Each structure stands twice: as structure tokens, then as C-alpha cells.
Structure 1
Amino acid sequence: MTKFSMHFSAATVALAMMAAGCATNATEDSTNAEDNVASTSDSLLAVRAGAPYLYMGWGNPPSPQTVMNATGVKWFTMAFILSSGGCNPAWDGSRPLSGSADANAISQIRSAGGDIVPSFGGWSGNKLGPNCSSASALAGAYQKVINAYGLKAIDIDIENTDEFENNTVQDRILGALKIVKQNNAGITTIVTFGTSKTGPTAPGNRLIERSKALGANIDIFTIMPFDFGSGNIYNDTVAASEGLKNKLKSTFGWSDATAYSHMGISGMNGLSDQQEMTTVDTWTRIRDWSKGKGLARLAFWAVNRDRGCAGGGVVSNCSGIAQSNWAFSKVTAGF
């Protein structure tokens, strides 16, 4: 997965689902799924929300209020919560939960009527999953962040090989998320992971299967369809998403509509690390497809890069293509 994206590799955004959405079973049809959506409590996240990634530790981070005012986007996925040593969470493993640039950005977002979902993990850095000794300890680390910000959702970006391809750590993460669901009524749990062009890879398939076996009750499974050898981002994103849908159906016994309602897409705007191209028009088509299918989450990496720089290559503070500032955020706000 992506190295340029630092912690994020194919990352999200994000979100949501009611507790009832997770309890669906094989007999539920699309009408029931729609009824579940309609009954969502106001205390939970919106059924659909676009939440692009914002990273305060890299890429000349913009003022979130500037982006909100220009685009109408309300939610951001904040990256990344890592280990600051052992099982202790911190932004980038170094910035504290209170008094940091991240905490200040969250205050700005909320004062402007928005909200955030923090992302734990990503590609690089010291992860909590391998450092926490048990599922309960890891759940405690997640809980510190939930308590610090009064969160409605958390995203676990599980892509580093120490987490994604380590069966013990995969199970620890899923066990921790099960505990989080039990201890925080109404919280939305999201897992974000890489994909092939036809759907989840072997570790992704295992993650889905084990989430059922362990009763983790994950709300949203989000794939990162980039840096995966794409020659056509739109077609390959749709194909990968359909592969995810089919895996969720076969694992959980869900209908198409229910499977879609537990899915998300997290792309990479402009040029990816592999020079794959996602234009504003392509992202608009992906948004429209996602919205039409009833997906729960749409994100991209990252707001920091949502500025034009045609010919600039793959860099941290612009997309590498010609675009107006915040164009991808504006499209995502329409999700």
C-alpha cells in the first residue's frame, strides 16, 4: 500500500450506521434496510456522510473552517492516532489529545457545526494494535480517545503489515472494537483496509470472516481503491466495491441493500503513489455511484492535497493535477 500517504495508504471517510443496522440478518430485505435507515436516532451519525481525511501533522494543513465554508463539508476523518509508547494513544504518536493542533482543529470543526471521526493506524508509525497486549487493553486505548472528544465514531485504518497481515493483531483489533461497541451505546465502528481490483485480498477476507466469528459487530467496512494497479479508477473502484459487497453477503447472509449500507469507499484525490489518476469528474462519478447504492461512507486522502498543482507530481500539499482548491471536498460534501 501507499508509502507517500505516510500513515494512510489507501484511505476515510466516513460513516454511519445505527446499532440496528448491525443486527440485520439473512432474512432482511431491502425494504427492511430502508426502514432501519429511516429510524436512525438523531443521536447517531447521519446515514450517509462524506468525511475526507485531514492530517494536522503534514502537508500544510488548511484551516478546517475555510474548507467547510467553501465546500459545505461537515465531517472530517482526522489522522492518525498512534502509540506514543506502549498502549498510550497520541496524534502521530507524539501530539497529546488535549492542547494539540488536532484538538484545536476539532474545536474549530465543531464550532462551525461539524464533527470528526479519528482514524487509528494507517501505513507508517508505531501502531496501537501490536503494542497493546490484549483486546481489553486496546479497547482501553480507544476509549481514552472516545472520552477525550465525546466521539460518535472511530475508524481503524488497518493496512500496515504488522496489523493487517498479522492474525493475532487482527483478532485483537476486532476484539477491542467489540468491547467498544458494548461500552459505548450508538457508537459507529469503521474498519478501513486495502483492496484488489476485484475485492478484498486474503487478509481483507479474513478480517471480514473473523469479524463475524468474533461477533465484533463492525458497522462499516471501507476499502481503499488506489495504489492497486488501476488503469481506470472509476471502473476498478466499482468492481472492487462489488467484490466487497459479495463478500459481505456471503459472510453475513445480507441482501445487496444491507451489504451496501455497511460499506465505504476511501480514495486518493489526484495522483496516487502509483500515478493512478482520479480527476474531479471521476470522483464525482464515484460519489454518485456510492450514493446511488446507499453506501455509508465516502472519504479521500486528503484535504491537505485538495489543491491544484498540475505537473507537481505526488506531493503532500496538492493533488498533482489541475483543479480548483477544495474541489474534491465539495464533491464529497454532496454525498
Structure 2
Amino acid sequence: MTDRATSVAVRPEYDPLADPDWQEPEQPRRRLSWTRLGLLILVLGAIGAGGTFEVIHLRNTAGPTAKSWAVPYVDVTLTPTFQFQDPTANPANDVALGFVVADPDKPCTPSWGGSYSLDEAASSLELDRRIDQLRQAGGDITLSLGGLNNKELAVACTDQARLTDSYRQLVKRYDVKTLDLDIEGTALADQASLGRRVEAVATVQKERAKSGKPLTVWLTLPVAPSGLTDDGVAAVRGMLEGDVDLRGVNVMTMDFNSGDAHPKMLSLSTSALNGTHKQISDLYLRLGQKLTSPQVWSRIGATPMIGQNDVDAERFTLEDAQGLAKFAVDNGLGRVSMWSLNRDASCRGTFQNVVVHANTCSGVEQDALAFSKVFAGLPGKAAGSGTHDAVDIPNQATTVDDPKVSPYPIWRMTAMYIGGYKVVWHGVVYEAKWANSGVDPSAAPATGTQSAWSVIGPVSPVEKAPKPTPAVTTVTKLWKPDNLYSRGDRVLFNGLPYEARWTTKDDSPSTEFPIDADDPWKPLFNVPGEPSTN
């Protein structure tokens, strides 16, 4: 990927072709006419040509067997941070978090976008806390590895044991139930990395199954209007032959570059999906598995790029989204994603009819989260969805915050908070959406209004009080109550540097954060949770 209604499941009728013990009952002998003989020759020829007749027969079986599952992508490292755990910012229940890639300096070490280690993502992006919060609200994450930019772990890491351990580390740390392997660009033709990836994923998947924590695996691949590329088909086959229990193939229905002046994105997308269906049907048949048409559809996903695509002429509209959602429900498509939640809003300050390529807006006219709301209506859930290791969410009515174990300042009624400031209140971390004062983060907003605070997630019992970071280290004089201080004088108080804003005496520097602008002492240090003013 570039940096760029309800359905009722229908139980399929018994399919004898799916039963290895089924035998056709003996029929009375008939004489073959020349017409029947010719038809038989055509049938046998079709089977010998790669199972085409079998596929045609299977396509005429019962209706959908799966309820389509909506799992939009979130670009984790993109600024501003998308608060996927906040239901007011994200209508989706589940999200696919991308992208985990190799650390640029340590090829066998996983990183987020090549910019954050796993620990740095936890501290700087609050990623672990936000995942906990999403799960407590009934949602879950899919962990996406790869993407178009940077190097995926299997490409960068040539040590099989260390590669397998990296996958194992990721799955364990985030308690992953669904893994998404996004393979595109040159990685799709890199045979060595494809082999390493298959072996690593198969090993971890078997380990998880043995421990009672099954791991679902999706393969995300580029697609043309006719279906998967030859390299894409080979990648799917390699997974299946390498003993990976593959849940499905998610195709990126975007950037078709069809050459049309006014391409119809829905038609191109459904054409690509139908082409993929034929290829997957044939592939499974060649590997000895006879799947019905609905069973094949349940193993296919679609991921459009909402709004403006990277190809100037291609725009995936809200009408296209509605059409794709209907197609998914009608056919029992296993999964529908989109790139991305970060982009699900109109671009600001742009001119009409100007092509806009952006990571944080769609480039088309729309209401905020309009695409997300279309796909959020899909009725399915992730395969294997269930409980995770418990994360305690405190009873906010009775929780008293302890400064010794609160990672950010405790919220105060009288303090003025700027946008981006993080606080702890009744055992939960919140972040200010905009400047506010006196607004209880835990209080429900009035009808028709938004809260001034985003819920980030619960405070862990092993966390500690924030340690301010001094911006200067040359201050040595201790504050004394009897001294008269002039504007600009600097002192140390509780080991932290302050500077007098005006003449003051007997007023001790404040230790309640954030320090008010009308306090006589300006802090010369940064407090965790305080947004950078640079």
C-alpha cells in the first residue's frame, strides 16, 4: 500500500464435490449419442485445461457463506496521530495497523515505519495503551507488516532464526490474533524473502495454535482488473505449499492505471475481484482442494484507496464505496478494508477540480468519516475474534489517582490545557483535543457536542510518576522564601529550574502541572504529556 446493510449468512447445501468419500450412485447404462459424446469430449478437455469446467460448476452453488468483515487501515506513524481507539474519531470496530517494517539500522529488529522501535511507539505514540483501550471497547487490531515503503522484515533479515523470532516477538507483544502480510513492489518477486517469510509465519502460526492462541493470516497483494499478477499467484501458492494456514487474500483495488480518461473504479474493482476468484478457485483445485464459490469468496478481501488514488484520473467515490459494500454482502466477501482512516475527510484549503494527493485527506468532497461509516455497516467479524489477556479498566467513580504511579499530570479543574496535553483522571489517560479549562475528561459531552478530550487508555499498575526534563542545566541557586527576585532571575526548586516572570517574593514555584501562565515562576523544563511548542 502506498503512503497513499446487514446480510444473513446462508448455510450452503451439501456439496458432494467437497466430500472425499462421496461416490456417484450406479446409474442404468445408456447409449451415448454423437451429441452426448461430443459434449463429454468438451468436458474432459476443459478439465485437462486446468479445471475450468470444475470452476464453472462450483460457481453455481449456494449463496454467501461469510459475513463481510470491515477492517480499515490506520497509518500509525503519520502525523497527526489518528486516535483509532476513540469511537468519536473512528466508527470502525477493528483496525489494521500499518506498517511494521525492519529497523533501517537493525535488519532483524521490527520497527513502526522505520521510525519507532516497539518501545518508542509505546511511549511516543501511546500505541500499546490505545490498543488496550480499543479492545476494552470490543474492538481489535490486525497487525500489518510490509507496505510499499521501507523493507519488510523478511526482505531485510536473512537470518531465518532471527526473522522467526521477530515475528514471534510481534505477535506476543501485541497479542495478535490476525496478521496481515502486505507484499508489493520488488518484495513480491524476491524469491528468497518469500521463502523466509513462509517458513517464519508457518512456524509461529503452529506455535500459537499449540498454545491455544490461533493466529489468522491474510496476504495483501496488488491486483489488476484481470486479477492477481503472476507473482501474486505464486506468492499465494508458496504460502499454501509452505504449510501456512492462509485465511485469505486481500487485493488492493486501487491504482489500476487502466488508461481510461474517466475510469469506473467500482467496475474495475469488481472485475479485479472476479478475476481473483477464478485464480484462487483454480489454485486450490490444482492443490487438491475443491472449494465452492462461496467458500472462495470468503477467502478474498478488497482494499480500495478512498477518494483520490495515486493515478490522477482514478477517484474512488462514496457511491463506489456503497457499491463495493453491496458487492461484499451479496457475495460473502471475507474482508473489506480501505486505505486509510487517516484520509477519511475532505482536504482543506484546496481548489475545486484540482487533483489532491494527500495522506491525511481523501481529495474528494465528503463529510468526515463518510467512507468509514459505509464499511462499518458490514456485518462480519474477524475470524477467531475473542478475548485477550485482561487489561484492567478502573471504576472511574471510585478510583483516586496516585501521583506516584500516574504517567502524566493529574487533571485539575482550574488548569488551562492546550491541545495535545495528556492527563490522568480516575485511572485513565486523556489527551486534550483543543485548549480548554474546567472540562472534566470523564464527563459525557452534552447532546450534539464533542468532548474536549480523547480517551487514550487505562493507566497500567506498573507505571510511575512523570519525570520532568530540564531545558537548562546551568541553574544552581536554590529558591529561598525571604529573597526578592527580579524578572529573569533563575532558581532551583525541588531540583527543577524556574525563571521569574516578574518581581516576586515569598511565592514558591509551582509543582502543579501544567503551571499557569499567571504564576510568577516560568518552568524551564518539560513535563511528560506536555506537547512540544517547537
Identify if the C-alpha distance between structure 1 residues 248 and 134 changes in structure 2 by more than 3 Å, giving closer, same or farther.
Answer: farther
Instruction: Tell me the equivalent position of 2:205.
Output: 181
Instruction: Tell me the equivalent position of 1:122.
Output: 147
Residue 104 of structure 1: how far off its partner (Å): 3.5
- 1:5-28 CA distance string (max 9 Å, x none): 2xxxxxxxxxxxxxxxxxx99616
Provide the TM-score with structure 2 as the length reference. Answer: 0.53
1:286 is aligned to 2:324? yes
Identify if the C-alpha distance between structure 1 residues 145 and 317 changes in structure 2 by more than 3 Å, giving closer, same or farther.
Answer: same
1:60 is aligned to 2:80? yes
- Name structure 2 gaps, 5 residues minimum: 5-14, 20-57, 286-290, 379-534
Identify if the C-alpha distance between structure 1 residues 325 and 312 changes in structure 2 by more than 3 Å, giving closer, same or farther.
Answer: farther
- 1:59-89 CA distance string (max 9 Å, x none): 52332244x3366310010011011112111
Residue 187 of structure 1: how far off its partner (Å): 1.5
Residue 271 of structure 1: how far off its partner (Å): 0.3
- 1:160-187 CA distance string (max 9 Å, x none): 31x2111121222222222222111222
- Name structure 1 gaps, 5 residues minimum: 6-23, 38-46
Q: What are the equivalent positions in structure 2 for 1:259-270 lying under 5 Å apart?
A: 259-270=296-307
Please, which of 210, 235, 254 is the counterpart of residue 207 of structure 1?
235
Q: What are the equivalent positions in structure 2 for 1:1-335 lying under 5 Å apart?
A: 2=2, 4-5=3-4, 27=18, 34=65, 48-66=68-86, 68-69=87-88, 72-84=91-103, 85-98=106-119, 99-100=122-123, 101=125, 102-161=127-186, 163-185=187-209, 186-230=214-258, 231-253=263-285, 254-275=291-312, 276-309=314-347, 311=354, 313-335=356-378
Identify if the C-alpha distance between structure 1 residues 181 and 319 changes in structure 2 by more than 3 Å, giving closer, same or farther.
Answer: same
Cα pair 1:25 1:252 within 8 Å, conserved: no
- 1:228-255 CA distance string (max 9 Å, x none): 2142111111111111111111111222
- Amino acid in the other structure paired with 1:130: V
More helix by share: 1
Q: Greater relative contact order (Cα 8 A, min sep 6): structure 1 or 2?
A: 1
Cα pair 2:281 2:296 within 8 Å, conserved: yes
Provide the TM-score with structure 1 as the length reference. Answer: 0.83
Identify if the C-alpha distance between structure 1 residues 243 and 54 changes in structure 2 by more than 3 Å, giving closer, same or farther.
Answer: same
3-state SS of 1:184 partner: helix
Cα pair 1:51 1:297 within 8 Å, conserved: yes
d(CA) in 2 for partners of 1:236 and 1:320?
Answer: 20
Cα pair 2:63 2:294 within 8 Å, conserved: no
> Which is further off, 123-132 or 197-206?
123-132
d(CA) in 2 for partners of 1:51 and 1:169?
Answer: 27
d(CA) in 2 for partners of 1:281 and 1:168?
Answer: 42
Residue 157 of structure 1: how far off its partner (Å): 0.5
d(CA) in 2 for partners of 1:123 and 1:300?
Answer: 15
Q: What is the aligned-residue identity percentage?
A: 25
Residue 134 of structure 1: how far off its partner (Å): 4.9
Alpha-carbon RMSD:
2.4
Residue 53 of structure 1: how far off its partner (Å): 0.8
Cα pair 1:59 1:304 within 8 Å, conserved: no
3-state SS of 1:64 partner: coil
d(CA) in 2 for partners of 1:70 and 1:91?
Answer: 22
> Which is further off, 252-261 or 150-159?
252-261
- Amino acid in the other structure paired with 1:159: E
- Amino acid in the other structure paired with 1:234: L
d(CA) in 2 for partners of 1:316 and 1:132?
Answer: 29
Residue 225 of structure 1: how far off its partner (Å): 1.2
> Which is further off, 206-215 or 283-292?
206-215
Residue 318 of structure 1: how far off its partner (Å): 0.4
Instruction: Tell me the equivalent position of 1:40.
Output: none
